[in-house]
Structure 1
Amino acid sequence: MDTDKLIKNFNRCIDWEDKYLYIISLGEKYALLPAEKQTEQYAIVGCQSSVWIDVKLIEGKVSLLGNSDAALVKGLVAIVCMLLNDKTPSELLNTNIKTIFAQLGLQQQLTPARNQGLEAMVRTIFNKVEHFI
């Protein structure tokens, strides 16, 4: 799913309860990191819930798979992966993900701990992708 479609679908939700349910459904559908990779090697430090993201470079494009042990956070992982997946390292590093989060209204609706976890996910991905350049 591309960014525009994600934003359009998100804006179709009536209220934040619907948006939370949509986020959770995204996690169920797109947070696909297999259980055998849910290890310390892929763990994201700084998240209150357990979060794992595998960052790879495949044929010049970044490939992201993630998961979490918490339903809402799993959905946030899915959103981050959808927004950043299948880009070249340069494209990914030039993505202003905070602007997209603002368009979705995430930072205003999430708890401070979840916002910190979201920032930790993005920071970790960006740090790993910088090594691909």
Structure 2
Amino acid sequence: MSTTDISDIIENFDVLDDWEDRYRYLIELGRTLEPLPEEARIPANKVQGCVSQVWLVTRWQDRRASFVCDSDAHIVRGLLAILVSVYAGHTASEILDIDALAVFRQLQLQEHLTPQRSNGLRSFVDRIRSDARQMLARGEAQGA
């Protein structure tokens, strides 16, 4: 399944006035995520700090990131789909420069999330940023 462009997501949120419609759209976005293979649901891929079960696998090809992730909560899957749209296709250094939470503020999502979901969202962002830092460190160690 393909990643939805973040500008399309922002545009779609702008046309949806009702928060019930926005939540339905979030659930729909979650369904667009690439399926996470069962064998990837291991402790090393689990994102700590999320109340829901959340897994993340970061892949690097030609120095650009792609992500496979999943959650046991429909709304959280939608939030993950937004983050994947923000970060996918970027290099590790670009990822470290992106303020993904600014997108959530722009969409007015942060004020509609429980504190636990907001903390989980930050944990997911922190994990992606940590993966990017590890990638940069590996590149520097290899003399890239």
Rg larger in structure: 2
Q: Which amino acid aligns with 1:90?
A: S
RMSD (CA atoms): 1.1
Gaps of 5+ in 1: none
**Aligned equivalent of 1:15, options 14, 18, 25:** 18
Partner of 1:71: 74
TM-score (norm 2): 0.88
Partner of 2:49: 46
Where in structure 1 do 4 or more consecutive aligned residues deviate above 2 Å?
none
Partner of 1:114: 117
Q: Which amino acid aligns with 1:110?
A: L
Q: 2: distance between equivalents of 1:33 and 1:10? A: 26
Q: 2: distance between equivalents of 1:42 and 1:86? A: 20
Q: Which amino acid aligns with 1:19?
A: R
Q: Which amino acid aligns with 2:126?
A: R
Gaps of 5+ in 2: 137-144
Q: How does 1:66-105 map to 2 (within 5 A)?
A: 66-105=69-108
Q: 1: distance between equivalents of 2:28 and 2:69? A: 15
What secondary structure is seen at the aligned counterpart in 2 of 1:57? strand
**Residue 30 (1) aligns with residue 33 (2):** yes
Partner of 1:129: 132
Q: 1: distance between equivalents of 2:100 and 2:114? A: 18
Q: Which amino acid aligns with 1:10?
A: F
TM-score (norm 1): 0.95
CA distance 1:111–1:27, shift in 2 (3 Å): same
Alpha-carbon deviations, 1:61-101, whole Å to 9, x = none? 01111100111111111111111111011111111112111
Q: 1: distance between equivalents of 2:134 and 2:100? A: 19
CA distance 1:68–1:31, shift in 2 (3 Å): farther
What secondary structure is seen at the aligned counterpart in 1 of 2:111? helix
